[in-house]
A = this chain, B = another copy of it.
């Protein structure tokens, strides 16, 4: 599905961005939060909370569910990670500085997910809710289907 040639590059740049963003915002990017973000970035397949938990257990941490969910909460609040409600899984944000009007294509064959942006889409959605005099707080837009490489 993805235009990812060298995934090490994805991971490294995501972690570097996260460092900078937390530093700028004065947030504490602890070892635990850092490791959870890294585990999520291990692939472009959205990670399940309890899989992250299992991987953490293999390391130094005495990890239990709250350990993971707290880190996930922090990462979501900071915009570094998104939850995909249609599959109950978590994926790293591919552009955490300018996330806005994004949606997700999720392949049910290879399980990879891709974060996309479309200004037309954002406009159409905005038009829709102003017509309904609705004040949006959170938009969930996820498309399940088959990606181009899984035919």
Q: Hey, which bits of chain A sit against chain B, CB under 8 A?
A: 85-86, 103, 105, 107-108, 114, 116, 118, 120-121, 123-125, 127-129, 132-148, 151
Contact A143 B116 (CB under 8 A): no
The 9 residue pairs across chains A and B that have the minimum distance between CB atoms: A133-B148, A136-B145, A85-B85, A121-B124, A120-B124, A135-B146, A140-B142, A138-B144, A137-B145
Assembly CA distance A116 to B135 (angstroms): 15
Contact A136 B129 (CB under 8 A): no
B residues in contact with A138, CB < 8 Å: 86, 143-145
B residues in contact with A105, CB < 8 Å: 129, 132, 134
Assembly CA distance A123 to B124 (angstroms): 9
Assembly CA distance A125 to B120 (angstroms): 9
Given contacts A118-B127, A120-B127, contact A143 B148 (CB under 8 A): no
B residues in contact with A103, CB < 8 Å: 125, 128
B residues in contact with A146, CB < 8 Å: 134-135, 137
B residues in contact with A141, CB < 8 Å: 125, 139-141
B residues in contact with A127, CB < 8 Å: 118, 120
Contact B108 A140 (CB under 8 A): no
